[in-house]
Amino acid sequence: MNFRKTGHKDIYHGKEISDPYVCMEDMLSDEVKDFIKKENANTEKYLSRITFRDKIRSRLTELANYTRYSSVIKAGEYIFYFKNDGLQNQDILYRQKVTEGESVVFLDPNELSSEGTIAIIEVSVSPDNKYLAYAISKDGSDWEEIFIMEIASGKKLDDCIKWVRYSSISWYNNGFFYNRYEEVKGDKFKEKNKSPKTYFHIPGNLQSDDKLIYEDKENDEKSFAVFSDQEENFLFRTEYIKSNDGNRIFYLDLNLNQNENDRDYLSLTEDYENEWNPIETEGKFIYFITNKGASRYKIVKFNTTEKSFADIIPESERVIENAVIADRKLIVKYLKDAHNVITVYDLEGKFENEIDLPGIGTAIFNYTKKSFTEIFFTYSSFNRPDVILKYNISEKIISVYKENEIHYDADLIESKQIFYESKDGTKIPMFLIYRKGVELNGKNPAMLYGYGGFNISMTPDFKSQRILFIENGGIFAIACLRGGGEYGEDWHKAGMKLNKQNVFDDFISAAEYLIENKYTSPEKLAVQGRSNGGLLIGAVINQRPDLFKVALPSVGVMDMLRFHKFTIGWNWISDYGSSEDPEQFRYLLKYSPLHNIKPVNYPATLITTSDHDDRVVPLHSYKYAATLQELKTGDNPVLLRVGTNSGHGMGIPVSKAISETTDIWSFVFYNLGMELKG
Catalytic center residues: 531, 648
Q: How many CA atoms are closer than 13 Å to the CA of 109, on its beta-carbon side?
A: 29
Q: Which residues contact 439 (CB under 8 A, 6 or more apart)?
A: none
Q: Which DSSP symbol is given to 155?
A: P
Q: What is the dihedral of CA 132, 197, 138, 605, to 10 degrees?
A: -130
* Segments in 17-118 forming alpha helices (H): 30-48, 53-64
Strands 550-554 and 525-530: parallel
| Rounded-to-integer distance, Cα 532 and Cα 34, Å | 27
Distance of CA 186 to the CA centre of its chain: 27
Distance of CA 151 to the CA centre of its chain: 29
Nearest Cα neighbor of 445 from 382, 540, 545, 523 is 523
Distance of CA 662 to the CA centre of its chain: 22
Are 151 and 239 a contacting pair, CB within 8 Å? no
| Rounded-to-integer distance, Cα 624 and Cα 622, Å | 5
Instruction: At 448, give phi and psi (nearest 5°).
Output: -110, 125
Are 568 and 560 a contacting pair, CB within 8 Å? no
Handedness of CA 375, 376, 381, 387 (dihedral sign): positive
Instruction: At 545, give phi and psi (nearest 5°).
Output: -65, -20
* Segments in 187-234 forming alpha helices (H): none
Phi/psi zone of residue 72: left (φ > 0), alpha (ψ -120 to 50 degrees), beta? beta
Classify each residue of 248-272 as buried b or exposed e, where b means 16 or more C-beta atoms within 10 Å of its C-beta: bbbbbebeeeeebeeeebeebbeeb
Q: Which DSSP symbol is given to 633?
A: B
Residue type, 35: F
Q: How many CA atoms are closer than 13 Å to the CA of 677, on its beta-carbon side?
A: 8
Name the burial class of residue 184, with classes exposed (0-12), middle (13-18) and buried (19+) by CB atoms within 10 angstroms of its CB: middle
| Rounded-to-integer distance, Cα 451 and Cα 533, Å | 4
Are 592 and 560 a contacting pair, CB within 8 Å? yes
| Rounded-to-integer distance, Cα 540 and Cα 512, Å | 12
| Rounded-to-integer distance, Cα 75 and Cα 133, Å | 12
Q: Which residues contact 659 (CB under 8 A, 6 or more apart)?
A: 57
Radius of gyration of the chain (CA): 25
Instruction: At 185, give phi and psi (nearest 5°).
Output: -85, -30
DSSP helix/strand/coil, 332: strand
Residue type, 441: N
